[in-house]
Amino acid sequence: MSISIASFFHPYTTFLHGAAYNLHQILEGLDVVSSSFTERDAAGNIIGSYWSPDQAMVITLGYLIMLSLLVIPLLAAAAYTVSKKQGLLTFSSLLFLPGVLNCLGLFPMINYLPTRYTIHGVGTLGSEIGLIPLLMLCAIIGWSIMILAYDNLNLTERFRQIYDHFWFPLALVAAVFFVADNGAREDNTMLKGATGGIQEASGYLLSQIRRYDDYCKANGLNDLKSCQWSRYSQWTFTNIKEGEASYFIEFAPDDSKGFYSASRWALSDEDVIAIRKEIAEYNQKLCPVKHLSRDLSQSSPLSTTCEYVPHHFCSVKPDGPQGVVDDGIGSHTVALASECIIPRLAAAKPYLKQLTALVGQHDQAKNHRWLYFLAVAVAIGAKVALATTKLCLIDARPATDRCRVFRAVRFRVSQCVHLLKCLLVGSGRWVREVATRITGFF
């Protein structure tokens, strides 16, 4: 018997379980709920933390179960309004059909759960199959409420026409979504391009820094500040090369000086200039530039050591002051292009922050749009209900045949109020009688 009961309720539990998982994913992206938990000891001290979507989703599932229990009588009342006993019979048959079919082994196995769950996943929308239960619930709620409202408020064809004025403009929102999606794709493409450019520039400079480090070791120049920098800076540029935009925004230096500093030691402005001058001497030694006249110069020929820096890596002028390096270094072959690439990386951070914020807004808009579709599902259910009222000729019913649910509810409420009054009056008499007897005793 227990196996039969479990089989009967299985379609409904999986239906609500998948809906709760997908709804929880959306709400977590909006920071309404969280899958993060904190462990405390007996004294209340924090001893650890963990993430558990399964555990966090239970609360969302509980709310959906309560909502479903409220929807069942609402839908039953709407079915009765449409076709009285026949409507109730049809509703009951459809309600129990999934459970009966599952007991007979005829109900299909449907996986409503998302294939992945993202903690704090802004822009992650769960699965399309998991959206179906929520859309169905919203449409059913909209249909039931509109059926009951139309019948019990004595609405007419005029209301249908008024509702159409609200309904048809919803189609125009699709144009807004189209433009928003196009802008989101463009911003995402720009963010990926900017991130890729930063990673490529860091990788390009990293390979030259490693060659300079080898040069320092081979020539016994380890005491030079620039040679020390070539050892310590490799960690920074390696992480930038392999990291995403979030890493660069969070951990990359904010200015050029930060790229010359290392975690083990702090540099003054004079130290930074000394490093840059040593690198300039290294470039001039390995890849000398001949100045033929004031406006004309000749670079060293291309080789594995002397390279022309790609233009998009060298789009920012070198840092000041004047005279430390040649402003036209981007047009010459160099062995170490730090004067080009480091200012470029420093200038990229504000731009990358702006792009990341735009993409974050677009991702959050996906979550809001998902909730909007649930609201549209309610509106669709209401629109179908108006068609149902027209199909069932509710407008043609006599006044005595309308507002049945309202009259039944009012009658039950009046009965409850009358019963409550009787209980209060009876309890008052009993209290007075007990008080009289106590007074007579004394």
Do 295 and 201 reside in the same domain of the chain? yes
- Hey, how many other C-beta atoms are within 10 angstroms of the C-beta on 19? 25
pLDDT 10s digits, 342-382: 999 998 999 999 998 888 888 888 888 888 889 999 999 99
Would you state the pLDDT for residue 441?
40
pTM: 0.73
Look at residue 442 and tell me if it is in a domain.
Answer: no
CA–CA separation, 150 vs 415, rounded Å? 26
Percent of the chain scored above 90 by pLDDT?
29
In-domain check, residue 65: yes
Q: Do 61 and 12 meet the contact criterion of CB atoms below 8 Å apart? A: no
pLDDT confidence of residue 425: 65
Closest CA to 37 of 59, 58, 52, 54: 52
Q: Where are the beta strands (DSSP E) in 245-397?
A: 290-291, 297-298, 307-308, 333-334
Q: For residue 441, is it within any domain?
A: no
pLDDT at 407: 67
Q: Give the rounded percent of residues in the chain with a pLDDT score beyond 70.
A: 87
Instruction: Please state, rounded to an integer, the average pLDDT across all residues of the chain.
Output: 84
In this structure, are 165 and 212 located in the same domain?
Answer: no
Instruction: Give the torsion through C-alpha atoms of 145, 149, 150, 153, to 10 deg.
Output: 180
Tell me the pLDDT tens digit for each residue of 104-114. Answer: 888 888 888 88
CB atoms within 10 A of CB 266: 9
Is there a single domain that holds both residue 320 and residue 377? no
The answer to whether 127 and 113 have CB atoms below 8 angstroms apart is yes
Is there a single domain that holds both residue 26 and residue 169? yes
**Could you list the residue range(s) of the whole structural domain that residue 415 is in?**
402-429
pLDDT of 411: 62
Residue 346 CA to residue 339 CA, distance in Å, equals 11
Local confidence band at 263 (pLDDT 50, 70, 90 cut-offs): low
Over residues 29-39, the pLDDT tens digits come to 888 888 877 77
* 437 in a structural domain: no
In a domain, 72, yes or no: yes
Q: What are phi and psi of 40, to 5 degrees?
A: -125, 155
Is residue 290 in a domain? yes
Same domain, 293 and 174: no
In this predicted structure, the answer to whether residue 77 has a pLDDT above a threshold of 70 is yes
Domain count along the chain: 3
- 286-327: per-residue pLDDT in tens? 988 876 666 666 778 888 888 888 888 888 888 778 767 777
Same domain, 302 and 417: no
Together in a domain, 176 and 208: no
Domain final position from 327, 357, 387:
357
In this prediction, residue 181 has a pLDDT band, given cuts at 50, 70 and 90, of confident
pLDDT over 50 (residue 47): yes
